[in-house]
Amino acid sequence: MREDYDPEDAAAWAARLGAADVAAAAERIARSVVHTPTLRCPRLDALAEAPVELFLKAENMQRIGAFKARGAMHAVGRLEPEQRARGIITFSSGNHAQAVALAAREFGVQARIAMPVDAPAVKLAVVRELGAQVVLAGTSSDHRKAAALELQAQTGGTIIEPFDHPDIVCGQGTATAELIAAAGGSLDAIVVPVGGGGVIAGACLAARGVAEDRRPRIFSVEPAGCDALAASLEAGARVDVPPGPTLADGLKPVRVGALNFEIARRDLAGSFRVDDEALGRALVQVLARAKVLVEPSGAAGVAVALGQARALREAVGVEDRPLRVGVILTGGNVDPKLVAKLIEQWSAQA
Amino acid sequence: MREDYDPEDAAAWAARLGAADVAAAAERIARSVVHTPTLRCPRLDALAEAPVELFLKAENMQRIGAFKARGAMHAVGRLEPEQRARGIITFSSGNHAQAVALAAREFGVQARIAMPVDAPAVKLAVVRELGAQVVLAGTSSDHRKAAALELQAQTGGTIIEPFDHPDIVCGQGTATAELIAAAGGSLDAIVVPVGGGGVIAGACLAARGVAEDRRPRIFSVEPAGCDALAASLEAGARVDVPPGPTLADGLKPVRVGALNFEIARRDLAGSFRVDDEALGRALVQVLARAKVLVEPSGAAGVAVALGQARALREAVGVEDRPLRVGVILTGGNVDPKLVAKLIEQWSAQA
């Protein structure tokens, strides 16, 4: 049964949720998602400015090429038959649209998805191929959300939020739970890219399952200029940050989710920012050394773990051994032409 | 203890070796190599000309970026202390040189490696960084082998063959043993790229451990014009094939190993050939869909499983369901500039 969540109660939810909720989500979605590998690559570690051992959670190999499949499968799977009958609705320009369309197909539910009029043809095609109905709506996130609310009024369907909902957060948290288990419970830190904050909130919940003295510290990473979470944490309340330009098109929310902010403010150990140079370089380093393709958003954690390793080690307080850092490679959906361009630009440093 | 192998006795060895020898090798090298993931990617399967389900054994994520680490660790690990004291010798232009250098470092043995005078600077640097002594010797495989024999006469060291030795074959076979296990013993076929034939001979041995009625059929793939194994099987004896030009620089032997040929002629279900177009396209398809980077040699199995799926299904005799095909992604060591070029060329078909 779907959690009955109201953002007004976000703080209470943030206090109440925990690793058991993530474990329950993992059990529910086990047959619908890929248990992605956790990769080690000492030759990638060697590029860090200070000693680290990276554990790469390869969500780029998840269904639809991104962790979003986890939350969508979980949220759609928890709907009651009468909710399913009225269909589901969402709004997204990217991976969440594909994830919801896929989940809808798996559960035999009609999906209606508001997407921007300037969405790439290939993204529209994938969503339609999965059987979802696309409603084109303006160019901004506000346009899309308004269109989704209109669809809800017309159909009585259920909106599947992109990130601000306990079902989504617990679904995304399963990636971190698998990462912690794969690393034998021995991680010092986990660096998580933040868009709306679903995956980092889930990471915090998953980490609550580890005894406090061994619990990995959770750090956020956002593109410089798209730092809605870091700005909110600094302000002590959710603030809007109109996103500046960034290679990381998956990390451009105007604001983070209410629940996600409340969880992050309780649990987060610190925040990092990365620029486009660091993202492009990290993408090519991961490709050349670990042999996996990530989207720029997915390279953000690696950019911190390699390029800001000293600050990370200092924040955790490890001095006498390599820092064991988990990194969520959040997705791999990137325009191949951009990959070719970044290789030309950065392969000498890979 | 190292197997005392003479190529004259290859046929007897081919009859005697089996899955138990591969299992013993797996136990010996378990702590020295990566148990690489076996990946599924339905969106990659969808590109095949007939229904297949691919199981991708990601040896591109192996140490030194190729399966060669397995055989080298096994062969060097089996040397007696007095053999180790005299050092080891090999000849290679590519991944085997790195693999032997790595194994030598792990076991504290001096390695001397004959490499071509025109070897890329980066390959020489990697081998030297691992502590091996490089001896530059001409441009052909015969030059390198002569230099290795001279080093052996001088030092009394042991030559670690690139592919024609039971220790190497059993070491490489561990990749296929892991693949078969990861697929739950349910594979119909495995497609293996062939250079000197070490990995395919090992694949045959690993498959001998599966009951005959469920045993996966093993198929070879070679670049058109570099088909020393297929030509030898057709001739009924090992023949030389001076290699023509190919993108697959790892699959250019003049002849396959004696042991490897004898195993292949007993066990192989068929042979395939692929051209550069098929290799380049498959490399980009694997990158764009499965999100992993392979070298052209490593894409050869995928090129067959997707582009020659009808012939493969027919050879196995499966009609009423998708063919379950294991593919060894043999390595991921590829010049990033070539990757950028291939993306430009093939991304529209990925």
Determine whether the interchain pair B291/A340 forms a contact, defined as Cβ–Cβ distance below 8 Å.
no
CA–CA gap between residue A300 and residue A53 (Å, rounded): 16
Q: Are A136 and A115 in contact (CB under 8 A)?
A: yes
Tell me if chain B has a CB within 8 Å of the CB of A124.
Answer: no
Determine whether the interchain pair A65/B292 forms a contact, defined as Cβ–Cβ distance below 8 Å.
no
Residue of A nearest to B346 (CA): A336
Sorting pLDDT into bands at 50, 70 and 90, what band is B216? very high
Work out the average pLDDT over B319-324. Answer: 96
Tell me if chain A has a CB within 8 Å of the CB of B162.
Answer: no
Residue A50 confidence (pLDDT) above 80:
yes
> Mean of the per-residue pLDDT values for chain A?
95
Q: Exposed, middle or buried by CB within 10 Å (0-12, 13-18, 19+), for A258?
A: buried
- Tokens representing B275 are 């051209």
B191 three-state secondary structure: strand
ipTM of this predicted complex?
Answer: 0.91
Sorting pLDDT into bands at 50, 70 and 90, what band is A120? confident
Strand order, beta sheet including A323-329: A38-39, A52-58, A323-329, A189-193, A217-223, A270-274
Closest CA to B331 of B291, B286, B295, B292: B295
Determine whether the interchain pair A60/B291 forms a contact, defined as Cβ–Cβ distance below 8 Å.
yes
Contacts of A294 in chain B (CB under 8 A): 291
Residue B61 has its nearest CB partner, among A34, A291, A294, at A291
Closest CA to A11 of A262, A320, A310: A262
Contacts of A57 in chain B (CB under 8 A): none
CA–CA gap between residue A140 and residue A195 (Å, rounded): 15
What residues does A134 pair with on adjacent strands?
A113
Work out the average pLDDT over B232-255. Answer: 91
Contacts of A293 in chain B (CB under 8 A): 287-288, 291-293
Determine whether the interchain pair A293/B294 forms a contact, defined as Cβ–Cβ distance below 8 Å.
no
CA–CA gap between residue A109 and residue A106 (Å, rounded): 8
Contacts of B339 in chain A (CB under 8 A): 287, 340, 343
> Mean of the per-residue pLDDT values for chain B?
95
Please give, rounded to a whole number of angstroms, the shortest distance from the CA of B336 to a CA of chain A.
Answer: 6
Q: Exposed, middle or buried by CB within 10 Å (0-12, 13-18, 19+), for B18?
A: middle
- Identify the pLDDT of residue A275: 97
Residue A293 has its nearest CB partner, among B34, B37, B291, at B291
Report which residue type is found at B49: E
Work out the average pLDDT over B229-236. Answer: 97
Q: What is the pTM of this model?
A: 0.94
pLDDT digits (tens, 9 = 90+) for B245-260: 999 988 888 899 999 9
Work out the average pLDDT over B274-290. Answer: 97
| Residue A336: alpha-carbon gap to chain centroid | 21
